[in-house]
Structure 1
């Protein structure tokens, strides 16, 4: 179950895909969850996929060719159905087995990898969809519990020294290097785990958006346990 006791205004739950995609974001609500308890053995799929690095994309053809037990077949049918309904909606879902993402240590005081709370940005209206089927689940954070890092004085000063250019170009520098997409959680912040099997729709920073973009991050993986994630 998802603990929403501290995030009611932030998250809205639905019981089917149509409501997931048709419910508008309003006010503080910028995350919608289709709550699901899924049958099947998704770990079997993770174990049988031929890995090709830290992140392996599972193509639909490969997924269909896997030799699976009855429980594995149930899991596969759910994955194929999720791919189908998202594609029919117009999204471009990708199914990944993730050992881990690359860490960004370019600027030790300001990592810009997906383990940092961040928002997604798009030049056109869109949303982010994601579902964790196996492994550690992603997390989101109510916007009131995060501060844009580029607005924190000590961090901003370090970024200005890093930039070392004319004042009028500083904001563009922050955007070009994605610094302005990242947030620092408050000391008393309470991130919400997205849980296993739930299909989420998160608000994105795009022109015309009526709500703040959703703050989210990838979890720290458990050693030896790969994640199975669909995202688009």
Structure 2
């Protein structure tokens, strides 16, 4: 299989789940990809699951109840195995059927929803794992191709106008409302699409993290198409 990501020094590429969880981030590398070309009909699974809300968490029981074709069953076995691998590793994976995420439309000068390039933050040492099985897939952006939005003068000025307390408390305000997690791509930035079927590990802003957190965003969904996404 052609390695699509090896020319990006920010991305490590591995061939097994064991390598994925045991390979450490280092230097500028803050994303690791278990690159896979999956077999099976994941669209069939997405079409037969019931969307109860815009984001519907799918249980193992929901998956097992589906009456699937041979190709659909192959896809189901892959998903079940991924859930098992991550759970045995100690993660808490969630399989989501997605119509869309909630939009943040409170301010016209800064967005804090997941469609905006952002990093994840955690008070405990952790990583983000994700895999898109069907539908539009997420993008990442290298850290040198993005500017933290709160450092852009016109955005910072408007945020300061919202905040009436002292300068010392301004930084706490930016963190409390997650403004500091969001990034603006530079004009020449080239987002990297994570593709279908690949299982990714992304660096999080967390204690003891030795690298910069990975900047990523949710994609705009394709018209009339749901997404099937594993994330933890």
SS in 2 for 1:97: strand
1:3 Cα offset (Å): 4.4
SS in 2 for 1:180: helix
Matched with 1:128 is: 128
* CA deviation string 1:22-71 (max 9, x = no partner): 01100000000000000100001111111111111111111011111111
Q: Which runs of 5+ in 1 are unaligned?
A: none
1:159-174, aligned counterparts within 5 Å? Answer: 159-174=159-174
Question: What value does the CA root-mean-square deviation take over the aligned residues?
Answer: 1.1
Residues 138 and 217 in structure 2, CA contact (< 8 A), matched pair in contact too: yes
Distance 1:71 1:95, change over 3 A: same
1:191 Cα offset (Å): 0.4
Residues 3 and 192 in structure 1, CA contact (< 8 A), matched pair in contact too: no
Matched with 1:190 is: 190
Residues 5 and 13 in structure 2, CA contact (< 8 A), matched pair in contact too: no
1:4 Cα offset (Å): 3.4
The CA distance in 2 between the partners of 1:93 and 1:157, in whole Å, is: 39
Matched with 1:39 is: 39
SS in 2 for 1:111: coil
Could you tell me the TM-score, scaled by structure 1's length?
0.97
1:164 Cα offset (Å): 2.0
Matched with 2:82 is: 82
1:45-124, aligned counterparts within 5 Å? Answer: 45-124=45-124
4+ residue runs over 6 A deviation: none
Q: Which runs of 5+ in 2 are unaligned?
A: none
SS in 2 for 1:184: strand
Residues 2 and 192 in structure 1, CA contact (< 8 A), matched pair in contact too: no
The CA distance in 2 between the partners of 1:104 and 1:2, in whole Å, is: 36
1:153 Cα offset (Å): 0.8
Matched with 2:5 is: 4
- Does residue 176 (structure 1) correspond to residue 181 (structure 2)? The answer is no
The CA distance in 2 between the partners of 1:3 and 1:227, in whole Å, is: 22
The CA distance in 2 between the partners of 1:40 and 1:153, in whole Å, is: 49
* CA deviation string 1:192-212 (max 9, x = no partner): 000000000000001111000
